[in-house]
Amino acid sequence: MLISLFILAVAIAGLFTLMTAGALSLQRSSQKGTATALADKQLELYRVVGYSKIRLAQTALTTALADPIYTSSSYASASEVTDSTTESSCTPLCSPIQKNVSGPDHHLYRIDTYVSTITPPTVGGVTGRSVKQVVVIVRNNATTTTTSKILAQNASTFDQSTAATTGN
């Protein structure tokens, strides 16, 4: 009887461990899915505006470059595309950092946006056309360290010939 109780206890403990691991896995995948949706939503904002509207507010970028989490990304640089537009007039389009963004799962996320101009290298004597690259990184809002895990990262490039014509 004692041996069968021990075997039963081990089996129940194993099942409980599997159920806990499954629940944690579902929670992580849900969080990553929500983060990916938020990154796509941010990029969609840039896809519907004109090429000239793809930029960050200068004053907001100055503040963002003082944020260690923002600057820990290899995309953060002083060469970001900016203008003197105030952040409040174009939020969330030209805001480099958005904190406390609520996702469909009702959790809070942090969205970091980087906008830079890229000129492809010259190949065979032909120089490529300059494009604007927008990179969006989504993290858990509770992020407090520069080594925090990125939940989603998405990027897109825009050039004048394929940009939306609205808002130009």
pLDDT tens readout for residues 127-152:
778 888 999 999 988 877 777 788 99
12, pLDDT greater than 80: yes
Q: pLDDT digits over 85-119, tens only?
A: 666 667 677 888 888 888 888 889 999 999 988 88
Look at residue 19 and tell me if it is in a domain.
yes
Q: How confident is the model at residue 57 (pLDDT cuts 50, 70, 90)?
A: confident
Look at residue 17 and tell me if it is in a domain.
yes
Per the structure, the count of domains in the chain is 1
Average predicted confidence (pLDDT) for the chain: 85
Domain that holds residue 16: 2-158
Look at residue 24 and tell me if it is in a domain.
yes
Look at residue 40 and tell me if it is in a domain.
yes
Is omega for the bond preceding 92 within 30 degrees of 0, making it cis? yes
Look at residue 163 and tell me if it is in a domain.
no
- Residue 125 three-state SS: coil
What pTM was estimated for this model as a whole? Answer: 0.78
CB 125 within 8 A of CB 150: no
Look at residue 166 and tell me if it is in a domain.
no
Look at residue 132 and tell me if it is in a domain.
yes
- Residue 105 three-state SS: coil
Cβ contacts of residue 87 below 8 Å, gap of 6+?
57, 59, 60, 94, 95
Look at residue 107 and tell me if it is in a domain.
yes
**Angle at Cα 139 formed by Cα 162 and Cα 35, nearest 5°?**
60
- The CA-atom distances, in angstroms, between 133 and each of 79, 81, 115, 118, 159 are 12, 10, 6, 7, 9
- Tokens for 41, please give them: 């939503």
The Cα–Cα gap between 45 and 42 comes to 5
